[in-house]
Structure 1
Amino acid sequence: MPAADFPWLDTQAYPFAPHYLLLLDGSHLHYVDERQGPVLLFVHGTPSCSFDFRRQIQGLSRAFRCVAVDHVGFGLSDKPEHYDYRPQQHARNLEHLIAHLDLRALTLIVHDFGGPIGLAYAVQHADNVRRLVILNSWLWDTSAEPAFAKLRPVLASPLLPWLYRWLNFSPRFLLPASFGARPLSPAVRRQYIAPFRRAKERNGMVGFAQALLHEQPWFGALGQQLPQLRDRPVLLLWGMRDKFCGPTYLRRFAQAFRHATVVELPTCGHVPQEEEAAAVLHHLWQFLAEREV
């Protein structure tokens, strides 16, 4: 599908050639695949897509092969009205993409729901994962946390899917509210809203919200496998003003790895790759260059 099929897309900000993988269910999975070199695989969360990482891809593709997926239901991928939008299915799609492209010795760069989705691959194929970069995410069952107890009635309410589908609530309201000291510009905000123009295109976001209520055992099972990765070099890049995956989550990840490089961004919220794009690119270069010697 050419960029002309997405007239809202800012191709100057996101100047990447489109690539598509036809999945077994007939859906088209969009991905970015830029340049050559050691492989960096970017895995986004919600309500976003590979657009999140555009500035890091542009900077790092001078020396690395940068691959970035758009989950089904997001970005330039298909958005079926009826689909298995659980994170488990997105993890299977990601595994299929990795096999299709024959990606080897990966560095996984994950954010938000991209954490469980990408790390599900990592714990199952640890021998193919060279390094990890984790930005404001999690990998455990959070259902016993006090914050989750407060959130549960909201997640269980039939009003939540209605807000997501009919008001485009996640990119219009939740995403801007998740930022720290640097708010989204109107132009960039439009790029996050535009992929979800019609109500029937918003079920991917609903699926992620419902996963917080129904898929906690899966997150917990993945967390129990995290020790398989404890010897991998990991960079933890964290927005410290995050209301969703805050400093407690950073400390929990840091304790799980023997060789964790921790970078705290004190005024940043939930989306460091957007809010502090230059700083994130700098720390990625530093982390990756040290391990390419």
Structure 2
Amino acid sequence: MVQSDATFDGTFPFVPHFTDAPGFQMHYVDEGPREAEVVLCLHGEPTWGYLFRHLISALRSTCRVVVPDHMGFGKSQTPQDRSYWLQDHIDNLERFVLSLDLNDITLVMHDFGGPVGMGLAARHPHRIRRVITTNGPTPFGQADLIERVMANAAVSPWFQWIAKAEVDGSLDAVLGQLGFNMLSTLKLNGFENNELITDTWLAAFAAPFARPADCLGAIGWAKGFATNAHRFEIPDAAANRTIRARPALAIWGEADRTLHAGHFLPLFTELFSTAPVHRLAGVGHYCLEDSPEEVIALVSEFIRRT
């Protein structure tokens, strides 16, 4: 858990907010006019709201940008008596959104923020205005979802390591030291811009995982895939119709070694058949780090145009 007032040399200068609505102390950024439409940014593994720092600064003059840290990540609490499966994160997000009564939501999702956000969309489709994926899967009841997940896992170094580590019993121990092996974990998943690697940048991503007890969120997400404990939310027919009609945008770094475009972009295009898809050559899994200016331009123009 990152200290609430940590700004990492001014690179994350946003006022911290906290709520107990999900049953633990959840941190979130809430920047921009309260009457403006909401942009809800959802991070994945093993990141936190810091991932969206450039996007927050770019959008907050015209949008209300809300960025929660999932349970066990960032400045949010890491309860020791909770499970950390996908369905738990969807439950937490639902309670968070309802407590703030967020509507007209533009989802911006990265990594496992994708299935968390799509879980929210399945439960509350009328609160969603737009859907934007930035290297984040968009599972929404597609019949071939599990086949795609398994095919991707077969060629992804991250998922290959998860499966092996769970079998040999090293997963908890290795991810329990995530604060010390953050750089190798990020590189395994894939970012291409090595100029990002500064002491401040690395400290910002490693700080949430200072002790093994702080790493339950990261361990839970990995272990859930290894043990098939995660449960994807299935939309009903009305939610399916509603979300399919929403404006949507896909931004995908093609150098992603963890979530391959060939396996996961079809989930998006099947759901949003006429939506624009931007494949970014030479950009890795963390497209918001590798190419923030390009991502900001695409997101800003999409929101303006729709």
Shorter-chain TM-score above 0.5: yes
Match of 2:244 in 1: 230
Match of 1:16 in 2: 14
Match of 1:28 in 2: 25
Match of 1:265 in 2: 280
Please give the alpha-carbon distance, in whole angstroms, between the structure 2 residues aligned to 1:9 and 1:199: 23
Please give the alpha-carbon distance, in whole angstroms, between the structure 1 residues aligned to 2:273 and 2:81: 42
Please give the alpha-carbon distance, in whole angstroms, between the structure 2 residues aligned to 1:135 and 1:70: 17
1:247–1:46: structure 2 CA closer, same or farther, 3 Å change rule?
same
Report which stretch shifted further, 117-126 or 9-18: 9-18
Match among 237, 241, 246 for residue 260 of structure 2: 246
Please give the alpha-carbon distance, in whole angstroms, between the structure 1 residues aligned to 2:177 and 2:260: 29
1:133–1:169: structure 2 CA closer, same or farther, 3 Å change rule?
farther
Q: Residue 239 of structure 1 contacts residue 246 of structure 1 at CA under 8 Å; is this kept in 2?
A: no
1:178 to partner: Cα distance: 2.6
Match among 189, 192, 207 for residue 181 of structure 1: 192
Q: What SS does the corresponding residue of 1:251 show, helix, strand or coil?
A: helix
Q: What SS does the corresponding residue of 2:107 show, helix, strand or coil?
A: strand
**1:141 is the counterpart of 2:146:** yes
**1:204 is the counterpart of 2:203:** no
Q: Residue 240 of structure 1 contacts residue 269 of structure 1 at CA under 8 Å; is this kept in 2?
A: yes
Q: Residue 39 of structure 1 contacts residue 64 of structure 1 at CA under 8 Å; is this kept in 2?
A: yes
Unmatched runs of 5 consecutive residues or more in structure 2: 140-144
Match of 1:282 in 2: 297
Q: Which runs of 4+ in 1 moved over 6 A?
A: 222-225
Scaled by the length of structure 1, what TM-score is found? 0.89
Match of 2:100 in 1: 101
Scaled by the length of structure 2, what TM-score is found? 0.86
1:22–1:11: structure 2 CA closer, same or farther, 3 Å change rule?
farther
Match of 1:63 in 2: 62
CA-atom RMSD in angstroms:
2.5
Cα distance per residue 1:234-278 (max 9 Å; x no partner): 110101010111121123312321331111111111011111111
Match of 1:172 in 2: 183
Cα distance per residue 1:179-205 (max 9 Å; x no partner): 343123123122101111111101110
Q: Residue 75 of structure 1 contacts residue 195 of structure 1 at CA under 8 Å; is this kept in 2?
A: yes
